[in-house]
Amino acid sequence: MNEYELPIRPRRNRRTAAIRALVRETRLSPAQLIYPLFVHEDAKDTPLDSLPGQTRWGLDGLVTEAARANRLGIHAVVLFPKVPDGKKNPTGNEAFNPDGLIPRAIKAIKQAVPGLTVITDVALDPYNSDGHDGIVREGVIANDLTLGVLCQQAVMQARAGADIIAPSDMMDGRVGAIRDALDDDGHQDVAILSYTAKYASAFYGPFRGALDSAPKAGDKQTYQMDPANIREALREAMLDESEGADMLMVKPAGPYLDVIAGLRAATDLPLAAYQVSGEYLMIRAAAQSGWLDERAAVLESLTGIRRAGADMILTYFAAQAAEWL
């Protein structure tokens, strides 16, 4: 006989794997993952030193990887270009070149994998010789001057076949401006996934190495958000929703689970979270050193982001996680 008579035993619901699966509150599936893919002008696929396990793809390799992701059950990719220095200038004009790398990449993927959702990044840092998301004038990021270029970039991407436009620049008013530009050009069905709460984070370093897009001078704290703030994120969400955003995003994800939860409570729009390069690299490095079980740590981290309220997750682990799931 038990020494204690306990009428309530929560452990009954944990007794077997099958029971645990029945009562599981948060589900993770490949369909909830978005796979970031890097692309460059070179035909050769190049492993990334700053992101071990990731690749900067040529167009052929990009299409092959996109098709593999689709077979794994990942139905959305987001594209990031490595632009040669010779094509960069202070106004980022290459960002809206209809014959540029990103429109060619969109068309190639759409032709080979027509059912795959293609998301495109709207910002000037890959194209701007200053390395900033906006145009620099006398050491200041010129918000309103930048909006016109972002609109041209978004329209060009929509014309090339992008399904979702994702402005990551954090300029004020860019969601409304891009929505108007897309609608005026006949792209009413192209959605906007806004980087609503993009923080001036220390976790972006490996990504900037992959794109060679670090600022040449200064930092991004005048337009990306202060990591100490959450009420500001709620204000940004309210503004983006009022300007016509279809989906919102929090970036980074892991250190900002409270922000994800706060936005989830404040909006009915679909919510994304970006598990960024620094988060990826910390898990990879610890696993390669033998201190973490990579599979268990990855799936736990992604489940935590989902539990906080994210409907979809951008992660460099997308293909691996899809295989494990």
Residue 88: active-site member: no
Element (DSSP H or E) covering residue 30: none
Residues whose CB falls within 8 Å of the CB of residue 301, separated by 6 or more in sequence, listed in order:
254, 275, 279, 283
DSSP character string of 271-319: EEEEE-HHHHHHHHHHHHTTSS-HHHHHHHHHHHHHHHT-SEEEETTHH
Structure tokens at 177: 């401006």
How far is Cα 182 from Cα 299, in angstroms, rounded to an integer? 37
How far is Cα 27 from Cα 311, in angstroms, rounded to an integer? 10
Cα dihedral 72, 73, 74, 76, rounded to 10, equals 130
In 3D, which of 230, 209, 100, 216 has the Cα closest to residue 153? 100
Element (DSSP H or E) covering residue 155: helix 143-160
Residue 220: active-site member: no
The residue from 82, 87, 110, 198 that is catalytic is 198
Residue 165 near residue 190 (C-beta atoms within 8 A) = yes
How far is Cα 145 from Cα 174, in angstroms, rounded to an integer? 11
Residue 192 near residue 151 (C-beta atoms within 8 A) = no
The residue from 88, 110, 220, 251 that is catalytic is 251
* 324: exposed, middle or buried (Cβ count in 10 Å: 0-12, 13-18, 19+): middle
Residues recognised as catalytic: 198, 251
